[in-house]
Amino acid sequence: MDKRSPENCKDKILYFSPNDNGISYFTNALIYIGEHNEQGSLGLIINRPLEITTKQFYESMGIKVTSNLAQKKLLMGGPVNPGAVFILHSADTEWDSTMLINEHISLSTSKDILEAIAIGNGPVDYLITLGYSGWESHQLEEEIFENAWISAPLDYRIIFKMEPEDKIKGLSDLLGFNVEMVSPNPGNA
């Protein structure tokens, strides 16, 4: 591996650069990176809604919903362990399995947070995802070095306040260019 470009990606938003190799699982994915260290990286896709409504998900879990759910559809968090539930949320409260990512964002996987959301006692902001995106040690740095990803600073508004279909435009506005028009392949003028 070439370590010329080490970058700590924790707390960043990554966009998969379009390329000439065709469609990839990550094409047009925005991923919030919640952990990045020597062991590897973990992130959640924040803009890929599933056909499963949040209400249907709760019904399948046997959890009664008595409040208005802010999130209408579940998100596909990534290809790893797609049967597992991950809740990215504001860090205003902790639950049984909460991992604090930064002072504003946490990640939880326990049923108690789902039950709290169902009755209106959950976090202020949240995204419920199935699965996660993961990389082995130094794999993500190598992919960034190869221009597979565009790295952007954390923007809470993009993560939690925008609809999934608006998040790529939100990231483009933040960066000042249309990320969908960037090619990872350098050319000659």
Predicted local confidence at residue 185, as pLDDT:
63
Exposed e or buried b for every residue in 86-124, given b needs 16+ CB within 10 A?
A: bbbbbbeeebeebeebeeebbbbbeeebbbbbbeeebbe
pTM for the model? 0.91
- pLDDT, tens digit, 9 for 90 and up, residues 146-168: 888 999 999 999 999 999 999 99
Mean pLDDT of the chain: 91
- pLDDT, tens digit, 9 for 90 and up, residues 18-52: 666 667 889 999 999 999 999 999 999 999 999 99
Distance CA 163, CA 86 (A): 18
- Asked if 105 contacts 90 with a C-beta cutoff of 8 angstroms, the reply is yes
Neighbours of 8 (CB within 10 A): 11
Predicted local confidence at residue 168, as pLDDT:
96
The encoded tokens of residue 95 equal 């639950």
